[in-house]
């Protein structure tokens, strides 16, 4: 089963996502959760301790991986990049594992003027799309 939770800010997406992930994980199912919210709080909603969350490296901070997979240097504007990069290894290599849950986080823009998150978004959304065919 694949679920995506989207919508307007402040409507409970993180709460609903964490509850669903927790229920399915408690049933013994493997859950891959992607926190694509710039204000990432899904780990907290899943009950992952802060010291574990500190080990999670957001995809937006994996500059070499982004450039390798998309062909674009992060923070550089006006460049062409792959919008369908190879991502099948990303959930296993880069997710934070907590019980039956694997968590990935996209990350966010750290400061104004630092560029677009377009390649980072393409990589994250490609993982989500790949999971729909998994």
Mean pLDDT for the chain overall: 86
Q: Would you say residue 127 has pLDDT above 60?
A: yes
pLDDT band at 134 (very low <50, low <70, confident <90, very high): low
Domains and CATH numbers, the chain: 13-132 (3.40.50.300)
**What six digits make up the tokens of 126?**
């490609």
Q: Would you say residue 47 has pLDDT above 80?
A: yes
| Tokens 């993180």 found at | 14
Say if strands 31-35 and 101-105 run parallel, antiparallel, or are unpaired.
parallel
Q: What would the pLDDT profile of 81-119 be if each residue is shown by its tens digit?
A: 887 888 889 999 999 999 999 999 988 766 666 566 677
Q: Would you say residue 79 has pLDDT above 80?
A: no
- For 134, other C-beta atoms within 10 Å of its C-beta total 9
Q: CA-to-CA distance for 110 and 40, rounded, in angstroms?
A: 13
Q: CA-to-CA distance for 109 and 37, rounded, in angstroms?
A: 11
Contact predicate 120/114, CB 8 Å: no
pTM score, two decimals?
A: 0.83
**What six digits make up the tokens of 121?**
């978004």
Q: What would the pLDDT profile of 60-75 be if each residue is shown by its tens digit?
A: 889 899 899 988 887 7
SS3 state at 97: strand
- For 28, other C-beta atoms within 10 Å of its C-beta total 8
- Percentage of the chain beyond pLDDT 90 is 46
């Amino acid at each position: 089963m694949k679920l995506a939770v989207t919508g307007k800010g402040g409507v409970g997406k993180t709460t609903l996502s964490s509850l669903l992930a927790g229920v399915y994980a408690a049933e013994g199912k493997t859950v891959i959760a992607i926190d694509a919210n710039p204000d990432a709080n899904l780990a907290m909603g899943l009950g992952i301790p802060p010291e574990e969350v500190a080990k999670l490296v957001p995809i937006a901070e994996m500059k070499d991986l982004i450039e390798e997979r998309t062909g674009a240097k992060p923070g550089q504007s006006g460049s062409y990049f792959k919008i369908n990069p190879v991502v099948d290894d990303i959930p296993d290599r880069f997710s934070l594992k907590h019980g039956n849950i694997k968590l990935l986080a996209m990350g966010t823009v750290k400061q104004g003027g630092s560029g677009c998150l377009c390649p980072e978004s393409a990589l994250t959304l490609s993982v989500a799309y790949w999971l729909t065919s998994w």
